[in-house]
Structures are given as structure tokens and as C-alpha cells.
Amino acid sequence: MINERIENELNKQITKEFYSAYMYLAMSTYFFEEGLTGFQHWLKEQAKEECEHAMKFINYIILQGGKVKLEMIETPPNEWECHLCVMETALEHEKYISRSILDLVKIAEQEDDKATQNFLDTFVDEQVEEEASFRDIIRRLNMVGDSESGWVLVDKELAERG
């Protein structure tokens, strides 16, 4: 069983996860329009992963006898000044999500809710990986700079995400 405070906070996180999915879908669409289909694919897969994160929160609330309350999802940005800016925005967003998960852990500690702390553990680990993935792509893009062939190469690599 989870208390009301935990239930509310977990519900807020569901909205954040779906917003993440929506934003990555907007980014994927941007790259589709720009002809970078590897980036399009990679970000579409990322959007799917975010929906899975949201579903994990939904399942956990139900499992704990709580009530799921889906809220409105904000409009994501649909324009970016440059291709690299898209990935930088994504990294900043992941840092925000990491802080949000760590805040949730703190709240679960305050409420002495061990089960929720355990549930959140996988998300703490997941966030380390998510930030690292975006940081790695940005690092590679900074290395290729304005080189079109470099971008094509990174695009090809991103197309391989399973």
C-alpha cells in the first residue's frame, strides 16, 4: 500500500514520462523531415522506452492498491535552431528527469516507504544510462563538427539501435 503523498508524486512522474515520449517523438519527426533517418529511428525507439517507463509507474501504483490519475501532457517543442541543439535539449531533459527521480527517492525515504524506494532503484540506474547515451552522441557530434560525412556516419550508427 502507498500513501497519498507517494501516490500523487508517482502520478506526476507518469506525466513526465509521457511528456518525455512526446518530446522524443517530436525530435524524431524533426529528423525525419531533415532526412536523418538514423536519428529519427533512435529517437522513436527512445519515445517507446519512455512509454514503457510510464507503464511501469502505472503498474506499480495499481499493484500497490493506488489510483492512477493521468494528466494533460504539455506541447513539446517542434522547432530547433540546429541538429545538435536537439540532442543537447534531450540531455538537459534527462538531467531534469534524473533530478525528479532522486526527489522521489527522497520523498519515499521521508515516508519510510521501502517498497517504493526499491521500485525507484531501477530508475536511478536507468537515468545514469540515459544521460550517458545522450552525452555520448553529443560527444561524437562535437567531434564530427560540420562534416557532412561525419553526420552520415553517426546517423548510420544510430539506425542500428534495436
Q: Which residues bind ligand OFO (CB under 6 A)?
A: 17, 20, 50, 53, 94, 97, 130
**Shorter beta-carbon distance to ligand OFO: residue 28 or 151:** 28
Work out how close the CB of 152 gets to ligand OFO at its nearest, in angstroms, rounded to a whole number: 26
Work out how close the CB of 48 gets to ligand OFO at its nearest, in angstroms, rounded to a whole number: 11
- Helices (H), ranges, 77-113: 83-110
Residue 11 and residue 13: Cα distance in Å, rounded? 5
Work out how close the CB of 8 gets to ligand OFO at its nearest, in angstroms, rounded to a whole number: 18
Amino acid at 97: I
Work out how close the CB of 150 gets to ligand OFO at its nearest, in angstroms, rounded to a whole number: 26
**Shorter beta-carbon distance to ligand OFO: residue 50 or 113:** 50
**Shorter beta-carbon distance to ligand OFO: residue 51 or 144:** 51
Cell of 126: 536507468
Cell of 22: 512526446
Residue 17 and residue 60: Cα distance in Å, rounded? 14
**Shorter beta-carbon distance to ligand OFO: residue 133 or 150:** 133
Would you say 35 and 145 are in contact if contact means Cβ atoms under 8 Å apart? no
